[in-house]
Structure 1
Amino acid sequence: MAQDVLSCVISRIGECRSNELVEFMWREHSKYESDFSVLDSLMRAFVNADMGSQALKIWDRMRKVRIRPSLSAVSIFFAPLIRVGDYGSVWKLFRDMIQRGPCPNIFVYNVMILGFCRKGCVRTGESLLFLMRKYGCEPDVIAHNLLISAYCVRGWTSHALNWAHFVAESGCEPSTATFVTIINALCKEGNIVEARKIFEEMQEMGVSPGTVTYNALMDGHVKAREIGNYKYGREDDGNRFLRELSMMALIPDCSISDMSISGLCWAGRLDEALHLLKTMLEKGIPVSIIAINSLICAYSRAGLHEKAFEVYNIMTKFGLTPPVSTSTSLLIGLTKVGKLQIGLDIFTGKMHQNGRT
């Protein structure tokens, strides 16, 4: 509470007048609290108020009165300094910790790696990872993942792959996030074959893929138009990936189905989307009304109203309830092909079902 109050006051009075507050609190403070308590609260307050230069002055005062700053306070110090680009102060603070304590922990290193990587200084982040070992701090999977993510953001996917192998060889087990980051990057580049290899390596290493991984890989397949019989150029592999998903203990959620079917509709491959819809429903893979609406609307726009009606029948067969928008779209389409009565039956049936007139 004291830190929050101080942060609020400092923000209101501004950096120029904050020195007056510091001197006011320091004057005769020994009557009610320790040197450490006053200076630690002030330093944290300045950090919270984004006044890094003032926080550094408190740090210097702590050293002068021979107080060792708390590691938790210093840990939050680096992020705002990197954010404003005050790299001189960052390295000054880091050297002071190495020489006089408290010794940086894994959290401090990770904050610095993240900050420098976000600023585009990936090589600096990489150097920090090697440096931490020199001072007895072993990098964790988070540190490695930060670098892998930075490589992928910059388009250095080959570096990310090499680093992932380095992580495994160094005895630090990669996490799901490690693989998802690389799979996402490869899929965005259109390198689906390599993404699939990483997916298989992931399972061989005993790392659970998770829904996010499936979504990333499925998204890549859809964007690369590798759903259906185009998969790897072999007809017998047409739905191999979907079969594998259905056999996994983790069944993908509706977002995968929606993304797959909608993606094929956007690509104009409506018959493939219909075949995929049937396959998913037969295998018990969840499909939401969003995917079915996409297919009905796509067939309607293409003037294939009979096909749109076929999709509607599939939807009702599997117990899915169409919304009013779907019924309206079908009514308009069936009217155009001379099947007004069927369209009216669908539409009025839907209205009565919802208690509307």
Structure 2
Amino acid sequence: MRGISFQHRLSSFLRNCKTDGLCKVGHEDEAKEIFEEMKAQGMIPDVISYSSLVHGFCCAGKLEESKRLFNEMVDQGVQPNLVQFNVLIDILCKEGKVIEAKKLLEVTIQRGIILDLVTYNSLIDGFCKIGDLSSARKLFLSMPSKGCEHNEISYTILINGYCKIWKVEEAMNLYNEMPQVGKRPNVKTYSTLLTGLLQTGKQAKLKLLGSFSNNYPRKGFNQML
């Protein structure tokens, strides 16, 4: 009995390795065939089995199949790994399918999965990329109530979003808020804001340059010029 159990686990492990390897080289359809064989032979797929396929189909642009497998995984009582979930959210956002990512987020929250900073930043970035700053800002403001504190990346993403739609005043307000909440702007924050302010005239540019020279290491600042 123990030997059968060991053989069963070993077989599942080896097949998981194979499906994961196939997905990483773009052979997700072949990997799915092995996955279906496992189920037909009475093997119960685990989080590794599903995650490899969800990620593989998502990277291949086959989002419908990826979402179907994700929903099947949750329906089967297999708890998604947060790292894998974040990868899926990030890929959806980068594909411009932010609404789908948000729907997936809502379903995941309903199922009791606790999200982290990476998840929120990916979604905020996704909304910014499609120009939906209202949703990006709303999600940004909701983070503290969900037990997720903003970091410098959160601020920089939103600042970048506002600059891209020429709402530099809102971007400056966020920049000024950062030190008040203990967040230090980084090179990306400065360069993003500088690009936005260059569009508003020389006076704003000189004002920001003075701020940079007083608050940022000279070596790092010179790299942006």
TM-score range, shorter chain: 0.7 to 0.9
Q: Which residue does 2:92 correspond to in 1?
A: 186
Q: Structure 1 residues 188 and 289 mapped into 2: Cα distance closer, same or farther (>3 Å)?
A: closer
Aligned partner letter, 2:105: F
Q: Structure 1 residues 299 and 155 mapped into 2: Cα distance closer, same or farther (>3 Å)?
A: closer
Q: Distance in 2 between matches of 1:137 and 1:102?
A: 11
Q: TM-score, normalised by structure 1?
A: 0.52
Find the residue that maps to 2:16 and give its secondary structure.
helix
Give the Å deviation of 1:187.
1.0
Count residues with an aligned counterpart.
218
Among residues 120, 139, 142, which one is paired with 1:244 in the alignment? 142
Alignment of 1:139-288 (within 5 A): 139-227=45-133, 231=134, 239-266=137-164, 268-279=166-177, 284=181, 286-288=183-185
Q: Structure 1 residues 326 and 271 mapped into 2: Cα distance closer, same or farther (>3 Å)?
A: farther
Q: Distance in 1 between matches of 2:102 and 2:157?
A: 18
Question: Does the 8 Å contact 1:270/1:295 carry over to 2?
Answer: no
Aligned partner letter, 2:149: I
Structure 1 stretches of 5 or more lacking a match?
Answer: 1-100, 233-237, 333-357
Instruction: Percent identity, please.
Output: 21
Q: Which residue does 1:54 correspond to in 2?
A: none
Alignment of 1:303-318 (within 5 A): 304-308=201-205, 311=208
RMSD of Structure 2 on Structure 1 (CA) = 3.3
Q: Structure 1 residues 125 and 314 mapped into 2: Cα distance closer, same or farther (>3 Å)?
A: same
Give the Å deviation of 1:151.
0.9
Q: Which residue does 1:106 correspond to in 2?
A: 12
Give the Å deviation of 1:197.
1.9
Give the Å deviation of 1:152.
0.7
Q: Distance in 1 between matches of 2:23 and 2:137?
A: 40
Q: Structure 1 residues 309 and 207 mapped into 2: Cα distance closer, same or farther (>3 Å)?
A: farther
Q: Which residue does 2:218 correspond to in 1?
A: 324
Give the Å deviation of 1:264.
3.9
Question: Does the 8 Å contact 2:162/2:168 carry over to 1?
Answer: yes
Q: Select the structure with the greater relative contact order (CA < 8 A; seq sep ≥ 6).
A: 2
Q: Distance in 2 between matches of 1:258 and 1:265?
A: 10
Which deviations, in whole Å up to 9, do the C-alpha atoms of 1:283-314 show, x marking residues without a partner? x2734232542255325633624324555788
Give the Å deviation of 1:144.
0.3
Among residues 119, 126, 150, which one is paired with 2:32 in the alignment? 126
Q: Structure 1 residues 328 and 117 mapped into 2: Cα distance closer, same or farther (>3 Å)?
A: closer
Q: Distance in 2 between matches of 1:153 and 1:277?
A: 34
Structure 2 stretches of 5 or more lacking a match?
Answer: 1-5
Q: Distance in 2 between matches of 1:184 and 1:325?
A: 33
Question: Does the 8 Å contact 1:145/1:178 carry over to 2?
Answer: yes
Q: Structure 1 residues 116 and 239 mapped into 2: Cα distance closer, same or farther (>3 Å)?
A: closer
Find the residue that maps to 2:78 and give its secondary structure.
coil
- The alignment status of 1:293 with 2:187, answered yes or no, reads no
Give the Å deviation of 1:279.
5.0
